[in-house]
Copies of this chain bind each other. A is one copy, B any other.
């Protein structure tokens, strides 16, 4: 499971680098589908991963106000900060205690840790797929989604 997190973080950082060549107006421009713009898609990915891992850890949620995040630098900084908090835990605990019960303040239901970890992983890959279409719409080659040749295995 941890390899998928490492993959998502590598791809996400490549998208942050990709965004550096794109004007901020393009990053915030309304687009069809998903979260509706490039920057807030990345912010949403960062927020959802952090929120669910904290739910697994039985820590309080820390909701963010998307309107406070309007620049690439802010979103990248939050991603870096959260990853610093999550990395060690996920490296050590991504395959332990799979049946542990998880609940969340923002969603009814009871889940297992295993289910939530799968959800976080698929959630990011799905939204990155949306970015790849929007990238082509603005005439830029998207970041490669391949898992191969990334030094992950």
Q: Which residues of A contact B (CB under 8 A)?
A: 3-4, 7, 31-34, 107, 109, 111-112, 114-116, 118-119, 122-123, 125-130, 132-137, 142, 145-149, 152-153
Contact = CB atoms under 8 A, between A and B. Distances in A.
Contacts of A136: 32-34
Nearest to A118: B147
Given A109-B148, A129-B130, A147-B115, A33 B122 contact: no
Stoichiometry (number of copies): 2
A149 B114 contact: no
Most chain B CB neighbours (cut-off 10 Å) among A109, A123, A136, A148: A148
Contacts of A7: 118, 122
Given A34-B133, A129-B130, A130-B133, A122 B148 contact: no
B152 A115 contact: yes
A109 to B, nearest CB: 7
A56 to B, nearest CB: 13
Given A3-B118, A147-B115, A33 B152 contact: no
A38 to B, nearest CB: 12
Contacts of A116: 148
A122 B125 contact: yes
Contacts of A33: 132-137, 142
A118 B5 CA distance: 11
A85 to B, nearest CB: 23
A109 B148 CA distance: 9
